[in-house]
Amino acid sequence: MNKDNRFMNELFRIVNGALRLDVDKVRNYTAFLADKLEKDGDKVAAGRLRKMLEETDHQLRPADIGFARALPVDAESRFALIERVNLKSLHERPILLSEDQWGVVNEFLSIAKSYAQLDAEGVAGSISLLVYGPPGTGKSRLTRFIAQELGLELYVARLDGLISSFLGSTSKNIRALFDFAAKTPCVLFLDEFDAIAKLRGDSQELGELKRVVNSFIQNLDSLGPQSIVVAATNHEELLDSAVWRRFGYRLELGFPTADLRAQMWSQFLRPIDFGERDLELLVDLSDGFSGSDIQEVCWRLQRRRITTEEPPELKDAFRILQNIGIGEGQERRFLSALRGKDTNAVARALRSRNEKLYSHAALAHLLGVSKATAYRKTLKGAKQNGR
């Protein structure tokens, strides 16, 4: 896109808002355009736009001028339906995905970035992404990354909170949510998205509930290109095809492969350096872990590193791995066999999994014992008492 076209997206939306007498939309996109111009080096134009905003709004303090912050609220309780995520205060480690997963993410990002151009050619589709997979696999983390990459604000709506016991209120909530998104340049993150799908499958009050879900789908359809929607769910099997089809992009985030686990361990452990051989063991031991589980083990090691004088060792990592809780519905297939207190049985389980990887030297290192002791532990019928 050439330089002059880069701001057309915002310009069209401002004009669209003005023609519909939608002051919020005009103001939000003007503030957004000012930020974009400033980033582009045009401080003068940015300043002029901001001044216009300032002069035409007397209810807001100058420091607040930017996006209108009035968040939609629940029709009954008046609690906010969505929450703004402060991306600037987050210092996160990079997200780690497989090559295929990056393929989907990068395509989604490039479409979102060049929407105006695609729209002009009539080939823009919906910019919505459905991310699904077990807990702790990076769905929320990825959404923050997407918002950061696009330079957009991130608003999170938890759909279970949106569903009111009064169905009439639920419809109002859905409308309020989408009205807000239509006026605000943002990534709208619909978390716990299966809550809406569950509604549809519920056999009680079916007609009424169906109507609510359909209104949700219609709202999603008519949102238009100005907002980017990301929905996340742990229960993709609950989504019916009508909902599923609404999303132009879909991405499965499953438990990380060995290759990704290796990258996670070395990244999350930094500056602790366990060496390649130890990492290999950790990668194998964490088979069936989510990224979040690996991060949890690493955090505990980091805390140890900071609060004690000694640098953590592999045996410390192994102990944490052993006693980390097993999540509901999550099968840490291999580790569950290792959770017992009987270190002889543990040593033998490891050995029978992979004799080469779990050599006597490796076992000694993992269990914090001598090589000779490790050897004794692996003997059939070895005594139960520790060392």
Ligand X SMILES: Nc1ncnc2c1ncn2[C@@H]1O[C@H](COP(=O)(O)OP(=O)(O)OP(=O)(O)O)[C@@H](O)[C@H]1O
In one-letter notation, the amino acid at residue 47 is G
Is residue 286 involved in binding ligand X (CB under 6 A)? no
* Residue (17 or 291) nearer to ligand X, CB: 291
Distance CA 219, CA 178 (A): 7
Distance CA 47, CA 93 (A): 34
Nearer CB in complex with ligand X: 72/291 = 291
Whole-angstrom Cα distance, residue 101 to residue 124? 22
Closest to Mg ion by CB, 17 or 136 = 136
Instruction: Work out which of 31, 46, 81, 96 binds ligand X, going by CB under 6 A.
Output: 96
From the list 107-115, 134-142, 318-326, 349-357, the region that binds ligand X by CB under 6 A is 134-142
| Residue 141 touches ligand X, criterion: CB under 6 A | yes
CB nearer ligand X, residue 243 or residue 366: 243
Q: Give the residue with the Cβ less far from Mg ion, 142 or 369.
A: 142
Query: Residues 221 to 260: which contact ligand X by CB under 6 A?
Result: 234
Residues 344-383 that bind ligand X (CB under 6 A): none
Candidate residues 226, 286, 295, 343; the one interacting with ligand X per rule CB under 6 A:
295
Q: Least CB distance from residue 300 to ligand X, whole Å? A: 14
Q: Which partner from the list ligand X, Mg ion, none does 137 bind, CB cut-off 5 to 8 Å by kind?
A: ligand X
**Stretch near ligand X under the rule CB under 6 A, chosen from 10-18, 119-127, 161-169, 290-298:** 290-298
Q: Closest CB to ligand X among 80 and 95?
A: 95
Measured CA to CA, the distance from residue 135 to residue 137 in angstroms comes to 6
Stretch that binds ligand X, among 45-53, 129-137, 162-170, 178-186 (CB under 6 A): 129-137
Min dist. Cβ of residue 213 to ligand X (A) = 21
Residue 291 binds ligand X, judged by CB under 6 A? yes
List residues near Mg ion by CB under 5 A: 139-140
CA proximity to 95, closest of 149, 42, 24, 58 = 149
Question: Taking CB under 6 A as the criterion, which residues in 254-283 touch ligand X?
Answer: none
**CB neighbours of 137 closer than 8 A, spacing ≥ 6?**
253, 254, 255, 256, 290, 291, 292
170 is a contact residue toward ligand X (CB under 6 A) = no
Regarding 302 and contact with ligand X (CB under 6 A), the answer is no
Place of tokens 């609220």: 73
Judged by CB under 6 A, does residue 68 bind ligand X? no
Residue 44 Cβ vs ligand X, minimum distance, rounded to whole Å: 40
The verdict on 161 binding ligand X (CB under 6 A) reads: no
- Find the residue with minimal CB distance to ligand X: 291
Is residue 72 at the binding interface for ligand X, with CB under 6 A as the rule?
A: no
Nearest to Mg ion of 213, 230 (CB atom): 230
CA distance to 96, 166, 173, 210, 220, per residue, from 216 (Å): 32, 16, 10, 10, 6
**Closest CB 256 distance from ligand X, rounded Å:** 6
Which of 68, 97, 324, 363 binds ligand X (CB under 6 A)? It is: 97
Beta carbons of 159 and 192 less than 8 angstroms apart: yes
Q: What's phi and psi for 155, nearest 5 deg?
A: -120, 130
* Site for ligand X, rule CB under 6 A: 95-97, 135-141, 234, 291-292, 295
